[in-house]
Amino acid sequence: MMRSFLKCCCCILTLLFLVQVDAQSQSVSLRTDEGQGGGVFTSKRPGKQIPVVDMILQDVPRDSALYAIAKLVGYGLVYSKQYVKLTGVVSARFNKTPLPEAVSTVLKGTDIISNISVTSKSILLAPRDTTKSAPVQAPKSPARVKGKVIDSITREGIEGATIEVATTGKQVITDADGQFYVGPIEAGNHLLVARRIGYSSKALKLDLSEDETDTITFVLGATSTVLTSVVTTGAGDRQKYQIGNSIATIDAKEVVESESIKNISDLLANRAPGLQVFKGSGSVGSPSRLRVRGISSINASNGPIIMMDGVRISGDYTQCKRPDYSGCTASPSRLDDIDPDIIESIEVLKGPAASTLFGSDAANGVIVIKTKRGAAGPTRWNLGFDQGITSQVRDYPFPMQRLGYAMSGGKPSTCGLLDEARGSCVPIDSTIGSNLLGNPLTTSLAKGRETSVNVDVSGGVSVLQYFISVGYVDQLGTSKLPDINNRLIRDAVGISKLPGWMVRPNKQKNTSGSARLTGQFNNNSDFSLGANFLKLSNSNGPDGMSGILMDVRGPSDSIRIVPGWETFYVQRSQDVTRALTSATVNWRPLTWLTGNAVYGWDFSSRDSRELNRRNSCLPLCDPSGQDAQGYVYSGKYSISVQSLNLGSTLNRPLKNGFGIRTAVGAQYVRTYANDLLAAASDLADGGTSVAQANGLTSSEEAGGELITVGLYLDQSISLNDRLFLGAAIRRDVSSALGSEVAPLYPKWSISWVASQEPFFPWKDLVSLRLRAAYGHAGVQPDADTKLRLLSRFSDFIDENGDPLGNYLSISSIGNSNLRPERSVEREAGFELGILNDRFLLDFTVFRKFTRDAIVNRPLAPSIDFGGNQAQNIGDVLNTGAEASLSMRLLELEPVTWNLNLGYGTRKNKLITLGPNVSPFSAGSGFEGDASRVVPGYPLFSRWARPIIGFDDVNGDGVIVPDEVRVSDSLQYIGPSTSKYDLSFLNTFGFMQDRIRITANFQYVNGLTQLNRFLSQNWQYLPIMQVPGGSLEEQAYLVASIKQGNPSDYGFYEKVDFFRFNSLGVGYTIPGEYTKRLRMSSATVSLLATNLGIWTNYNGRDPDVNTASAGGNEYFNGSAFPQPRTWTLRFNLAF
């Protein structure tokens, strides 16, 4: 397959090369023509007329006069204010005066000369002394200039800068690395001007020698961060100001250094408006789910795709199979495998308007990760060491139980209000209860800890740089076997110490290594090789609280095992080995033409195991039970993602301020997964594997291969480097859809840097860019969804009742007409920077309409094969707005304060579900009401049958289920995801930034949660045990057990919360001390997370969402809340 693709790509590249050769030949011919002209003030090209000027000037400032003349004849006026001082006033009368003469008249008496190019319609001004010998020199042999334009701060090349030879009008544009080449031009004195929007311009005077090539470097200082940043698109890196869509950029390096970041999910959370990070649990190694601009897909994936260093990698969390832990609450996310210490930056392409060129997988956005790379210079060592503690800080209800006597027999019994009302007991004035989680002997909560070490080294020379990083993370979760259980089990078994996996079941160790080598083959080509290796060992037991709150016991109760302990003797482990490699080659055959090839391979292998050893529960369990016999679930899963991207970009200026950029490319992505699952029971003594079990309970082998091939063309036109119009198209074919389905994804965009226009009044104070974009992108179905699948079984029974041969059964009906989901997005916005971007507002509104959403439509029983069929029948609308406001509020010598506010709001609505498709449930709850798919409402919204009344018919002060009236029909409660959220990221610097404090907060509004914690434990609340409580509250609780018509309406809560997410205090040790230790810098930091939450939610953590229905059911299950961490960190650099 790969060979076919390479063959095809070779042909495409051949074709591309031919086109380039063709283009080159035309270019050469043009150059030849121009060379024949060679004039300074006029062009002798046939057909080019020198304009004339009719104008009267009376005491007009000289610069205004020139602007007026240029405007009159439609020419551009080009000069450097640094070298060309247009002072004084002029008076003149022009009557059909040739333009050169008119300009000379205006410049009379100055040291400035003009160079008028009819070809480029420009008037170039330069100091006289730089060109004094040029016009009269005899023809010379040509000279050449090459060089680089770099950023004064980052020292990195600036792409897209214009280099203009002011004395000739010749222009070139720098390539992706900031390099340029000018030539051939006449030898002699020249003025070269480098300009790039967002930077101050710079000019250099050069005396060029014949037959020689000068090498120069322009160092430009940024004037606007808005206008200087570079972002990734599907067709390569672009200047951010050139594209019409919003892209959020996260400076990962800075965030990781100043905050407690354990994984990429931490890095992304609350830093990109429009991106939501749903944490699955507070357990170590729990997965997160990313959702960009809401939810669009009903049965297909809602997750963004992940690109790292230009290659596609696997980002999905694993499927919800037994070895991955039931409910997926603890399965490590594949995205979080990546060590955040190696990441330079992350960009979030939020929707189809931005991600069109990523094609059929990108409708839910793209997360673009760029890893660190070395820089030329001496070897630099960085050493980081973290030591932290974690704890659970949420309070838990105090469960209680009223006591009494049973009605029959008079034995002592529990006697809650419901028991009494039903007449099954007579209460006594006594209650018992305790919060087992608050008792050191019975609690299953413990202090966790985290240790991490990271070492990286980087350096190199100009042609070869390297970056190598090694990291190790050891995390221990906050669950433990209660001490009382520990003691009783040891006593019963007769051993002095229980195994560690039983006592502290939740832990994870990551070991990772990364290396990147970058360098140049020659001036025209460079390469980058990357390799990342990861070894992860995860152990994940129970969440430590199952059933504990239901265990009410009094002080006089005998010591006994805390409920839920039985889950502790089951060992769950998962080992992941992952390797990511990438290779990139960039080639610049011409200054305006680049080509690149990127190959990547991401392979991960996971070995999951759930093991209950034989007799490990004895003597505390039934010796004849299945638990005592032991069982093992074993899963082997591997996934490989291979990708190859080939692209070429043509970028060159045209006449009259126009420029074009054309990018073409091809992309090949192959994903192959293999999943083997076996379950076996009746383990031998000491047995730990399927092979050591007597009975193979089940085995399953699954997997799939998905290949996608895409071709794209991206064309943009610019005017004066201020207005950019772009149009692009991508065509895909994939194995999931068949070669006959080749979706086409178009896009267009416009970007206008209004503040750079001559008429903009406050250009020194304000930067303003307006932008709009429109684009399509898709989401593919799974590899086999389209196919009619037949399962073969080997147990056909013959006429004697014996197995004889195979038979086939249709297991899935397939849909040969299946297409990808198609999302169409429009977005518009602006970036407004004030006072050199001291206040920077980025605002975007979007409308994303997803049509042909893939719905697993239930089949009528008359064709029931597989239960349902994937069809393109849903339409979903997402609308919203995003804003970020960055403010450098204080920039004083002793203190600085930067505040970044993020805001994202979203509205989701299922427009239609197709004809004859009934609303359906996507998860659990009564009638699946916890998460339903209903046209006219948000996807996966909350529904319940409302309680329409209650009466204490017998006046006993207790509401029993029969006294509650529940509606027969479901009622919409609210969306399962938030309506809007706010983030507040503060950075304070003291003592010249030697002390740096970060404080991050988050506010979330409009979330509707199903309080599972309450639904599981309400019977033990005081209101159900002590007379005199609110009848209404009782009604809402007991409705959940109403016979025949239960309702969990009372467990839904509309939730807002404000969380103090993180605090970091860092101190950089003064240089005089670090130098003595031969360190270039040293920082010690105290970092904390989850310092407080203020919420109306009565459950555990409103921001923890488990998911089991394809990742699209959001509720607060039985998982741990997010813990609080305190971390001490040392960063040393040598």
**91-99, 316-324, 326-334, 700-708 -> range binding another protein (CB under 8 A):** 700-708
Applying the rule CB under 8 A, the residues between 404 and 443 that interact with another protein are none
Compute the C-alpha angle 849/855/859, nearest 5°. 150
Applying the rule CB under 8 A, the residues between 701 and 730 that interact with another protein are 701-709
Bridge partners for 679 per DSSP? 633, 698
Helix (H, G, I), strand (E, B) or coil at 361: helix
Of 101, 109, 112, 127, nearest in space to 41 by CA? 101
Residue 210, judged by CB atoms within 10 A of its CB (0-12, 13-18, 19+), counts as exposed
Of residues 603 and 865, the one with the C-beta less far from another protein: 865
Question: Rule CB under 8 A: is residue 642 a binding residue for another protein?
Answer: no
Fill in the DSSP letter of residue 573: E
The beta-strand segments (E) located in 591-657 are 593-612, 631-653
Is 820 in contact with 364 (CB distance < 8 Å)? no
CA pair distance 595, 1023, nearest whole angstrom: 72
Question: Rule CB under 8 A: is residue 22 a binding residue for another protein?
Answer: yes
Applying the rule CB under 8 A, the residues between 760 and 789 that interact with another protein are 783-784, 787-789
Of residues 793 and 1073, the one with the C-beta less far from another protein: 793
Of residues 21 and 889, the one with the C-beta less far from another protein: 21
Q: Which of 246, 270, 512, 734 binds another protein (CB under 8 A)?
A: 734
**1-9, 553-561, 998-1006, 1093-1101 -> range binding another protein (CB under 8 A):** 1-9
DSSP string, 1056-1101: EEEEEEEEEEEEEPPHHHHHHTT-SEEEEEEEEEEEEEEES--SS-
Q: Which of 864, 951, 962, 993 binds another protein (CB under 8 A)?
A: 864
Applying the rule CB under 8 A, the residues between 1029 and 1048 that interact with another protein are 1043-1044
Question: Rule CB under 8 A: is residue 790 a binding residue for another protein?
Answer: yes
Question: Rule CB under 8 A: is residue 7 a binding residue for another protein?
Answer: yes
Residue where the block lists tokens 């050199």: 836
- Chain-centre distance for alpha carbon 627: 42
Is 723 in contact with 710 (CB distance < 8 Å)? no
Of residues 798 and 1072, the one with the C-beta less far from another protein: 798
CB within 8 A of 959, min separation 6: which ones?
Answer: 950, 952, 1031, 1034, 1035, 1038
Of residues 17 and 405, the one with the C-beta less far from another protein: 17
Applying the rule CB under 8 A, the residues between 935 and 994 that interact with another protein are none
Fill in the DSSP letter of residue 978: -
Helix H or strand E segment including 514: strand 507-522
**288-296, 458-466, 793-801, 974-982 -> range binding another protein (CB under 8 A):** 793-801
Question: Rule CB under 8 A: is residue 744 a binding residue for another protein?
Answer: no
CA pair distance 1069, 1066, nearest whole angstrom: 10
Question: Rule CB under 8 A: is residue 843 a binding residue for another protein?
Answer: no
Minimum CB distance to another protein, residue 471 (Å): 33
Question: Rule CB under 8 A: is residue 626 a binding residue for another protein?
Answer: no
The beta-strand segments (E) located in 859-956 are 868-891, 895-912, 920-921, 932-933, 942-944, 947-950
Minimum CB distance to another protein, residue 710 (Å): 11
Of 1134, 1058, 1132, 1124, nearest in space to 388 by CA? 1124
Of residues 28 and 1077, the one with the C-beta less far from another protein: 28
Question: Rule CB under 8 A: is residue 12 a binding residue for another protein?
Answer: yes
Minimum CB distance to another protein, residue 803 (Å): 6
CB within 8 A of 57, min separation 6: which ones?
Answer: 65, 68, 90, 91, 92, 93, 94, 106
Q: Which of 162, 616, 735, 1040 binds another protein (CB under 8 A)?
A: 735
Question: Rule CB under 8 A: is residue 861 a binding residue for another protein?
Answer: yes
Minimum CB distance to another protein, residue 1045 (Å): 11
Helix (H, G, I), strand (E, B) or coil at 692: helix
Of residues 484 and 736, the one with the C-beta less far from another protein: 736
Q: Is the dihedral of CA 862, 863, 865, 871 positive or negative?
A: negative
Is 619 in contact with 493 (CB distance < 8 Å)? yes
Minimum CB distance to another protein, residue 21 (Å): 7
Of residues 25 and 1096, the one with the C-beta less far from another protein: 25
Helix (H, G, I), strand (E, B) or coil at 836: coil
Q: Which of 441, 654, 863, 1026 binds another protein (CB under 8 A)?
A: 863
CB within 8 A of 678, min separation 6: which ones?
Answer: 633, 634, 635, 690, 696, 698, 699, 700
Rg (CA), the chain: 35
Is 614 in contact with 646 (CB distance < 8 Å)? no
Q: Which of 46, 739, 894, 1078 binds another protein (CB under 8 A)?
A: 739
Of residues 382 and 785, the one with the C-beta less far from another protein: 785
Buried b (16+ CB within 10 A) or exposed e, 509-519: bbebbbbbbbb
**163-171, 393-401, 452-460, 851-859 -> range binding another protein (CB under 8 A):** 851-859
Minimum CB distance to another protein, residue 306 (Å): 22
Question: Rule CB under 8 A: is residue 795 a binding residue for another protein?
Answer: yes
Applying the rule CB under 8 A, the residues between 797 and 836 that interact with another protein are 797-803, 805-814, 816
Minimum CB distance to another protein, residue 1104 (Å): 31
% helix, strand, coil for the chain, step of 5: 15, 50, 35
Applying the rule CB under 8 A, the residues between 1041 and 1080 that interact with another protein are 1043-1044
Applying the rule CB under 8 A, the residues between 918 and 937 that interact with another protein are 918
CA pair distance 237, 647, nearest whole angstrom: 12
Question: Rule CB under 8 A: is residue 494 a binding residue for another protein?
Answer: no
Q: Which of 96, 411, 497, 792 binds another protein (CB under 8 A)?
A: 792
Of residues 764 and 864, the one with the C-beta less far from another protein: 864
Of residues 917 and 995, the one with the C-beta less far from another protein: 917
How many CB atoms are located within 10 Å of the residue 313 CB?
A: 25
Region at 755 (left for phi over 0; alpha for psi -120 to 50; beta for the rest): alpha
Q: How many residues does the chain have?
A: 1134
**305-313, 612-620, 640-648, 863-871 -> range binding another protein (CB under 8 A):** 863-871
Q: Which of 62, 480, 507, 857 binds another protein (CB under 8 A)?
A: 857
Is 40 in contact with 115 (CB distance < 8 Å)? yes
As given in the structure block, the two tokens for residue 352 are: 């189809």
Q: Which of 136, 138, 860, 892 binds another protein (CB under 8 A)?
A: 860
Applying the rule CB under 8 A, the residues between 865 and 924 that interact with another protein are 865, 915-918
Compute the C-alpha angle 416/421/423, nearest 5°. 100
- Please work out the total of residues on this chain that contact another protein, with binding judged by CB under 8 A: 85
Is 365 in contact with 268 (CB distance < 8 Å)? no
**502-510, 525-533, 773-781, 859-867 -> range binding another protein (CB under 8 A):** 859-867
Applying the rule CB under 8 A, the residues between 661 and 680 that interact with another protein are 668, 672-676
Question: Rule CB under 8 A: is residue 1026 a binding residue for another protein?
Answer: no
Of 54, 63, 116, 112, nearest in space to 86 by CA? 63
Question: Rule CB under 8 A: is residue 700 a binding residue for another protein?
Answer: yes
Of 711, 712, 713, 708, nearest in space to 739 by CA? 708
Minimum CB distance to another protein, residue 787 (Å): 4
Applying the rule CB under 8 A, the residues between 578 and 597 that interact with another protein are none
Residue window 293-332: x/- pattern of binding to another protein, with contact defined by CB under 8 A:
----------------------------------------
Of residues 89 and 702, the one with the C-beta less far from another protein: 702
